[in-house]
Amino acid sequence: MNLLMIFVFMFFGQSNQQANFNLTVYLSGIEPHKGNLMIGVFNNEEDFLIPGKEFRVKIVKAKEQDEIINFENMPAGKYAISIFQDRNADGKMNKNFIGIPKEIYGFSKNFRPVLSAPKFDDCSFELKQDKVLKIELK
């Protein structure tokens, strides 16, 4: 009887595990062979755009005008992506004296801020299944 209970628990207990999904990001507008692509995936408003607070981060050499970046085994949830091309490979987004970025960048939902940095909700999306996003760097 105890063996049967263990089997039932193992069989039905697995259905309560959180599902993970794959996120594929198609990037366009890259300046080939100039520095690195800095891709940050954020999962909450408080940490959005704060360096070092990304849920997942990837740094990829900028090789082609278009690139595909994969994030595997992402738990279901709400996310926002921030990307910039670190042309001089100094590890940071370079800005002019009034704070306007000098390097090309992009956000999920292709949100383009006008006078200030975007908010998490401006760029956020729900991940409930495998998802493909297209982001253009400008």
SS3 79: strand
| Longest Cα separation, the chain | 73
Residues 33-56: tens digit of each pLDDT:
999 999 999 999 999 999 999 999
Indicate the pTM of the whole model.
Answer: 0.85
CA 133 to the chain's CA centroid: 10
Closest CA to 101 of 86, 90, 111, 89: 86
Going from N- to C-terminal start, the domains of the chain cover: 26-136
Give the pLDDT score at 125: 98
- pLDDT-derived band at 3, boundaries 50, 70, 90: low
Q: Which helix (H) or strand (E) holds 70?
A: strand 67-75
For 87-116, b/e burial (b = at least 16 CB within 10 A) is: eeeeeebeeeeeeeeebbbbbbeebeeeee
The pLDDT value recorded for residue 115 is 85
What value does the mean pLDDT of the chain take? 91
Q: In terms of Cα–Cα distance, which of 20, 22, 28, 24 is closest to 132?
A: 24
